[in-house]
Chain A
């Protein structure tokens, strides 16, 4: 059972454009929502994370928008750069569960120069 659904599977954006990746979750007990960035041949690395008590979190060009009632959250990358080309995973976890991460299926982002 896939508890976190991610879309789109792939995304192509021009340099300077906005990249938007969406995720939806089913388990309302999830209380921590990180986004991970993965470059080819590397392990995932934490990009930004949010808790459900806030609707938005911004770190530089990266913003998470969170809609608790719709059980959806999204990653916005402003002024996208070729160096942002990577695979992005959303995830969710529960407190008291050793922070086991349930990942989305991933979005391969390509930013054209």
Chain B
């Protein structure tokens, strides 16, 4: 099992450009999450999904959109990138969102917006 994979690993964008980050998991998990990690701020939840075809906003959703067309994939989109979106983005998945099910994290995507 590859677990949670993220594509790409690194990306540099110019202000106003768009891009999509791809997260894939092969563990048949129902729940998937997108976080951003900034120095001194821990990880903050952007959006999450409780199943195929569903999405919901997290703590910092502005400027981002997501889609979950297939159970194994969760896409994070930036329509018009801003320097404030320079961050490391992590995707995570869990079996369900109830009980003590562990969230498994991907290796991250480092995004720089100039």
- A residues neighboring B (CB under 8 Å): 4, 6, 9, 32, 34, 41-46, 49, 51, 89, 95-106
**Of all chain B residues, which has the CB nearest A3?**
B59
How many whole Å from B5's CB to the nearest CB in chain A?
Answer: 11
| Complex partner residue of A100 from B41, B42, B58, CB under 8 angstroms | B58
Decide if A43 touches B90 in the complex (CB within 8 Å): yes
CA distance A6 to B40 in the complex (A): 10
In the complex with contacts A89-B43, A103-B43, A98-B31 CB distance below 8 A: yes
5 nearest A-B residue pairs (beta carbon): A43-B105, A103-B42, A98-B97, A99-B97, A103-B43
Shortest beta-carbon distance from A22 to chain B in Å: 15
Residues from chain A with Cβ under 8 Å of B4 in the complex: 43
Q: A4-B42, A43-B105, A49-B100 are in contact. List 20 more A-B contacts (CB 8 A).
A: A32-B100, A43-B92, A43-B106, A46-B102, A89-B42, A96-B98, A97-B97, A98-B97, A99-B31, A99-B97, A99-B98, A100-B33, A101-B33, A101-B45, A101-B103, A102-B45, A102-B59, A103-B42, A103-B43, A106-B40
For the complex, give the distance between the alpha carbons of A9 and B42 in Å: 11
> When chains A and B are docked, how far (Å) is the Cα of A102 from the Cα of B45?
8
The answer on a CB contact under 8 Å between A99 and B94 is: yes
SS class of chain A's interface: helix, strand, loop or mixed?
A: loop
Chain A residues with CB below 8 A from B105, complex form: 43-45
Q: A6: nearest residue on chain B (CB-CB)?
A: B42
Q: How far is the CB of B47 from chain A (nearest CB, A)?
A: 11
| Pairs A–B under 8 Å by Cβ, sample size 15 | A6-B42, A42-B108, A43-B107, A44-B105, A46-B103, A49-B102, A89-B42, A95-B98, A98-B31, A98-B48, A100-B58, A101-B33, A102-B45, A103-B42, A104-B42
Query: A105 and B40 in contact (CB under 8 A), knowing A46-B103, A99-B31?
Result: yes
B103 to chain A, nearest CB (A): 7
Chain B residues closer than 8 Å to A46, beta-carbon distance: 102-103
Cα distance, A32 to B100, chains bound together (Å) = 7
